[in-house]
């Protein structure tokens, strides 16, 4: 169950970074809406990460959380913010994903 919570925490990290990207492009009340969503997802992500670390090793949980956030944010950037999808970016994203999966398999919990 805590692995599921950790994945949700990582997805919330993707959400809060996406909100930052949208806030950067927004003006007026839309800016404050995106910043409010950023604060919501930031808080939820941190609370869920804390909950996951109650039974998972801290180092593993943090690495998986940041990995999910990094991979998700790069993919969101490519799809929605027109960031480049070069061979090397995709190669290192795949390497990061395999590292996250590897950490899950070698975790003692």
Output the CA torsion sign for 55, 60, 66, 72: negative
Residues 62-72 pLDDT 10s: 999 999 999 99
List the chain domain ranges.
2-106
For residue 104, what pLDDT band results from cuts at 50, 70 and 90? Answer: confident
Contact at 8 Å (CB) between 45 and 13? yes
* HSE-CB for 26 with a 13 A CA cutoff: 15
Residues 4-35 pLDDT 10s: 999 999 999 999 999 999 999 999 999 999 99
Query: Nearest 10 degrees: CA dihedral of 90, 108, 3, 16?
Result: -50
């Amino acid at each position: 169950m805590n692995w599921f919570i950790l994945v949700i925490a990582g997805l919330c990290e993707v959400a809060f970074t996406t909100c930052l990207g949208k806030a950067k492009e927004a003006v007026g009340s839309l800016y404050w809406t995106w910043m409010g969503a950023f604060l919501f997802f930031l808080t939820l992500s941190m609370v869920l990460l804390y909950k996951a670390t109650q039974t998972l090793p801290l180092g593993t949980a943090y690495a998986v959380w940041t990995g999910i956030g990094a991979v998700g944010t790069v993919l969101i950037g490519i799809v929605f913010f027109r960031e480049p999808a070069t061979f090397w970016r995709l190669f290192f994203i795949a390497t990061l994903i395999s590292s996250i999966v590897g950490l899950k398999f070698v975790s003692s919990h």
